[in-house]
Amino acid sequence: MSQQTPAISPSSASQTAQGTEPSPVIAVSALAKRYDSGFEALKRIDLDIRRGEIFALLGPNGAGKTTLISIICGLVNATAGKVLVDGHDNVTDYRAARAKIGLVPQELTSDAFETVWNTVRFSRGLFGKRPDNSHIERVLKSLSLWEKRSNKLIQLSGGMKRRVLIAKALAHEPQILFLDEPTAGVDVELRRDMWEVVRELRASGVTIILTTHYIEEAEEMADRIGVINRGEIVLVKEKRELMRQLGRKQLTLHLQKPLASVPPALSHYPLTLAEDGSVLIYTYDAASEPATDSGEHVSISKLLNDIEDAGIRFKDLHTEQSSLEDIFVNLVRERQ
């Protein structure tokens, strides 16, 4: 985005009665959905979204992401349970709840022959908000759409169209923005561009919830990650904590001479041989490692000493940590 002015100005965070934990901006409790077909798409889901965070909702196809978001946004009725949006029940106080939310769908469904300016201005009117040209101008400028305001949607590039979707969702000054697969099918450059836009929105105080199939996207952007599988939230964690706890680290040693087997003196280490005995691999849980760098250094250096004492020489070594993708695949696989 090109300028500093926040695209929207969310109200200040409210606090709980105790004044300690900020109240969640979205509180989902015991939410269930059974479609008319009898299919149980959501099974008593509980989920809190924190004010001002970027929350990535990950899950395989058919896991229930769209159903969950559609219920929160009031587009689909729940079978049971409750959703509070900034304290407003999204059924009994629908208009107030919905006004807090901007929803960025995957595809532009607006009239292709309408101008950018009119499209975005019209979106604001849908929420019963008074026209505010200065707000629309701010939003368009913040999304680098100002120069294109008189262009018809059909004249825009794919990237610009995506920006119009975000502008439309921001037109009524929501505090919460849902992005459904924001970068599905876009090229790498545009993806980076969109990430930048989302980060800047967060910096202006907007809470962002995004669904994505791109684990790289969650890894890059999210403060917290929720994984949904078969209608259940199977995990919600800080991204950093998740990577630390579930991430595996691997130390790979390229040996000077191949080994036929791991020497008995090293049998108490989880070592495996690969590439015809010329590579020795040590795998360990990142969480079981001492938290400090110095602590980790001690355990690895002990291993290296023991390897040297066993008469093994190596020409190269490197370490790698599993990505969120590995973690996610393992998590979903475990529950199949």
Ligand X SMILES: Nc1ncnc2c1ncn2[C@@H]1O[C@H](COP(=O)(O)OP(=O)(O)OP(=O)(O)O)[C@@H](O)[C@H]1O
Q: By CB under 6 A, name the binding residues for ligand X.
A: 35, 37, 39, 41, 59, 61-67
CA distance 136 to 144: 12
Work out how close the CB of 285 gets to ligand X at its nearest, in angstroms, rounded to a whole number: 29
Pick 59 or 74: Cβ nearer ligand X: 59
- Name the minimum Å distance from CB 72 to ligand X: 12
By C-beta, is 63 or 222 nearer to ligand X?
63
Cα(330)–Cα(232) distance, integer angstroms: 16
Closest approach, Cβ 153 to ligand X, in A, equals 25
Nearer to ligand X, 26 or 271 (CB): 26
Q: Is 142 exposed, middle or buried (0-12, 13-18, 19+ CB in 10 A)?
A: buried
Cβ proximity to ligand X: between 62 and 158 the closer is 62
Min dist CB 73 to ligand X, Å, is 13
Which of residues 66 and 144 has its CB atom nearest to ligand X in the complex? 66
Q: In 3D, which of 262, 256, 237 has the Cα closest to residue 247?
A: 237
Cβ proximity to ligand X, 66 vs 278, nearer residue: 66
Closer to ligand X by CB, 39 or 94: give it: 39
Minimum distance of ligand X from residue 229's CB (angstroms): 9
Identify any residues that bridge with 228 across adjacent strands, giving them in sequence order. Answer: 233
- The nearest distance, CB 36 to ligand X, in angstroms, is 6
**Closest distance of CB 205 from ligand X, Å:** 27
Contact criterion met (CB below 8 Å) for 85 and 239? no
Asked if residue 181 lies in contact with residue 212, where contact means CB atoms within 8 angstroms, the answer is yes
CA distances from 20 to 1, 46, 86, 324 (A): 34, 21, 17, 31
Token pair belonging to 289: 């490692």
Name which of 58 and 140 has its Cβ closer to ligand X.
58
Nearer to ligand X, 116 or 218 (CB): 218
Match 């590995």 to its residue by tokens: 326
Cα 194 from Cα 208, distance rounded (Å): 13
**Minimum distance of ligand X from residue 101's CB (angstroms):** 17
- In the complex, the smallest distance separating the C-beta of residue 71 from ligand X, rounded to whole angstroms, is 9
